[in-house]
Amino acid sequence: MSNQKVAIVSGGATLIGQKVAQALHRDGCKVVVCDINAKDGQAFINELGEDGLFVKTDITNDADIDNCIEQAISAFGGVDYLINVAATYLDNGLDSSRDDWMNALNTNVVGAGIFTKKVAPHIQKRGGGAVVFFGSIGGKIAQPGRMLYSVSKAALIGMTRNMALHLAPMKIRANSVSPGWVWSNPIRDFSGNDRGKADQVGGPLHMLDRIVDAEEVANTVAFLCSEKASGITGTDVAVDCGYMAMGPEQTTDKVSRLAE
């Protein structure tokens, strides 16, 4: 049996998920991409070649998750890593209905939790591995117009710690990444595919005066899966160009204005 590692990436039809799949593939993994978006997911896998597989999967559906895991094992012999990228931005702030709450949390929180629980025994059979969750700056601060997304991302950062504890006996490490604004499908669409505008608007919120590249998030995910991160579990890694470390004074020297 080949000892090539196998990763499942949920939400792999979108740019961030695709970059994660490419980074893991570059590191020698076979990659199973799953998503509700079959058109973009399949097109991406066609480009990736024979080390890739797309499985249409709704992570709110247990039978779909089971099918995805079964297909991964039958195509590639096992699973070593799960990357929970899939998420919904369904959010009506304070006006969110009970259905909105249940749907958003079902996708973002319960979907990732159940996928992880179901795949863990298979990762254990391979001698251990790693799971990565997607938090966000939105899981650590309040954002205008948002409620469900922020709450779900905070829950995922909490889930990371609890999964790390419960999966440790199975030799599975669990960590999360929390990106700042990322050049991604939603930001590409909002900005009319204008990266300069995205950096101009989002840059001042980040110490590095630009938004995050999806590759930077993907490289961190690949690192967290790798043996180089063998001592890291239960933690959240900010990939946010300094967003969370910067206070409201931002990059300008406000104190000097006192002397003006």
What are the residue numbers of the active site?
A: 149
> What DSSP state is assigned to residue 212?
E
Residue of 7, 14, 23, 91 that binds ligand NAD (CB under 6 A): 14
Q: In what order do the strands lie in the sheet with 129-134?
A: 52-56, 30-35, 6-10, 81-84, 129-134, 172-179, 236-239
Q: In this chain, which stretch among 29-37, 65-73, 96-104, 118-126 interacts with ligand NAD, using CB under 6 A?
A: 29-37
By beta-carbon proximity to ligand NAD, the closer residue of 77 and 93 is 93
Residue of 22, 25, 48, 60 that binds ligand NAD (CB under 6 A): 60
By beta-carbon proximity to ligand NAD, the closer residue of 4 and 194 is 194
CB atoms within 10 A of CB 217: 26
Residue of 7, 18, 32, 37 that binds ligand NAD (CB under 6 A): 37
Provide the minimum distance between the beta carbon of 101 and ligand NAD in the complex, in angstroms, as a whole number.
15
Report the distance separating Cα 123 and Cα 10, nearest Å.
Answer: 16
| Distance spanning both ends of the chain, measured CA to CA | 72
Residue of 62, 186, 190, 245 that binds ligand NAD (CB under 6 A): 186
Q: CA-CA-CA-CA torsion for 107, 108, 113, 115, nearest 10 degrees?
A: 60
By beta-carbon proximity to ligand NAD, the closer residue of 78 and 138 is 138
Angle, helices 112-125 vs 148-167, to 10°: value is: 20
User: What residues make contact with ligand NAD under the rule CB under 6 A?
Assistant: 10-11, 13-16, 35-37, 57-60, 85-88, 107, 111, 134, 136, 179, 181-182, 184-187
